A and B are shown apart, each in its own frame.
Chain A
Amino acid sequence: MTATWVDKIRWFVILVLVQGVIISQIQVSRYAVPLLYVVFILKLSSDTGRKALLLYSFFIGLCVDIFGNTPGLNATASIWLAMARPSLLRWQTSRDASGSFVPGIKSMRVWPFLRYVLPCVFLHSAVLNTIDTFSVARATDIVIATIADTIVTVVLIMVIEFVWRKK
């Protein structure tokens, strides 16, 4: 994902469509929804400013929300992720933080990338599921859904990363 505008817009549209039209329409299980569009936020270049990060996240979340009839839900989860991303990324790349790079297996190696993706996706789906089923009585539902969403999403992102790297 290079920094050019055309590429960014292309990925934005592709991910929103895949998330909104394909993934949300395949009702595989009540829990475990892959939140693939998060990959757009995760793979923005490391030198993206915090404010730009917030705006990108907000708009991709909002677009996914429109397809799912959940205005504000994915947008909220995404801006929380955008706020946490710089620290989580720095945490995994503190030793060789030189210049800008696109987070990925190629630039970070497998384990640091996984350690960056996992907390990011977990935070995102935790916020998402908490707001979605906002009730203490459903606390166990929130925990199960968060863990299930996280596992499915992280596995999907890692698989895509591996396939990409081979290309």
Chain B
Amino acid sequence: MRNILDFLIKYSHWALFILLQLVAAILLFRFNSFQGSVWFTSASEVAASVTKVSAEVTRYFGLEKMNRDLTERNVRLMQELRYYKELVGEKVHDNDSLIVIQGMQKIVRTDSSVVAIKEPPKLMDRSYVVCPARVVNISVRRFDNYLAIDKGESSGVCTGMGVISGMGVVGIVCRTSKNYSLVLPVINSVSSISCKIARTDYFGFLKWEGGDPLTAFMTDVPRHAEYEIGDTVVTSGHSTVFIEGIPVGTVMSKDDSDDEMSFTLGIHLFTDFGRLNDVYVLALPPREELIELEKDIKY
């Protein structure tokens, strides 16, 4: 008996090791599920309030580039605005607020500064609200990347909302705390966002398989789809997360899928996650009927 006790005491660190290993394993595997606690993430109140301070400091180093992007974007928006003024034949005030936007136009991006507009905007039947937020923590190097933003439940952000930036689509909110949220970006291996080729309206899913944070893939594109290298890819608006027409990237290359039933297109993403600072959370009015319907047919 004494020997057994001695043995147990001598090797009790093994028991502790196995126990801790189990806890770690549970944390590891549980985290991959889409919904879960915000507790052990960078969007938890304590961790996010710490990284927020460092994010505020590092923001200043990117200001020059940010300024250049904003100027570029301004020029593009001014060109669009002039086009619409002429189209509508009405005088539009320059100081119109962009808090509530109605509808979005199809833009074919031919060059970084030159924009050709394919067709006049269709006004959509629902408007959506954008909530500006700042990135407080982001990873781009890993296989499963996440980012934390400084808006949470207290600002009306909830899971399943879309996140965009001035550059293009960013991702989907997956966990929220009171003042912060965790976002599952395009550059996460489990991310899948419905998108389409802007010019020809063919659909596919935006996926990412690790590696270069600027290169993603558009899978399940039908083999008869018409596209050209350089075509713009935008969100399809089929989900309740994103509205139609948010820029995603440009077509870069073509591959056969494994089963050779569809194409997989290489996509050069517009959003550069390496220098992402300001984002917007999209709050679309809930489409209960659609959500209910999708629940029913899930198998």
Tell me the smallest distance from the CB of B292 to a CB of chain A, in Å. Answer: 32
- Residue-by-residue, is A89-111 near B (CB-CB < 8 Å gives 1, otherwise 0)? 00000000000000000000000
Hey, which bits of chain B sit against chain A, CB under 8 A?
12-13, 16-17, 20-21, 23-31, 40-42, 44, 47, 50-51, 54-55, 58, 137-144, 146, 148, 182, 210-211, 274
* A76–B24 touching, CB < 8 Å: yes
* B140–A27 touching, CB < 8 Å: yes
* B17–A83 touching, CB < 8 Å: yes
Tell me the smallest distance from the CB of B210 to a CB of chain A, in Å. Answer: 8
- Residue-by-residue, is A65-102 near B (CB-CB < 8 Å gives 1, otherwise 0)? 11111111101100100110000000000000000000
Alpha-carbon gap, A29 to B211, bound state (A): 11
Measured between beta carbons, the chain B residues less than 8 angstroms from A82 are 17
Task: Give how many A-B residue pairs fall within 8 Å (CB-CB).
Answer: 103
* A133–B41 touching, CB < 8 Å: no
**Chain B interface SS verdict (over half):** helix
Does any Cβ of B come within 8 Å of A166's Cβ?
Answer: no
* A66–B44 touching, CB < 8 Å: yes
* B21–A65 touching, CB < 8 Å: no
* A72–B141 touching, CB < 8 Å: no
Tell me the smallest distance from the CB of B189 to a CB of chain A, in Å. Answer: 10
With A132-B142, A132-B143 as given contacts, are A79 and B51 in contact (CB-CB < 8 Å)?
no
* A79–B20 touching, CB < 8 Å: yes
* A20–B17 touching, CB < 8 Å: no
* B41–A20 touching, CB < 8 Å: no
With A68-B42, A71-B28 as given contacts, are A27 and B47 in contact (CB-CB < 8 Å)?
no
| 23 residue pairs A–B, Cβ–Cβ below 8 Å | A21-B54, A22-B54, A24-B139, A25-B137, A25-B138, A27-B140, A27-B141, A27-B274, A55-B16, A55-B20, A67-B137, A69-B31, A69-B139, A69-B144, A69-B148, A71-B40, A72-B24, A73-B28, A75-B20, A75-B27, A76-B21, A76-B28, A79-B17
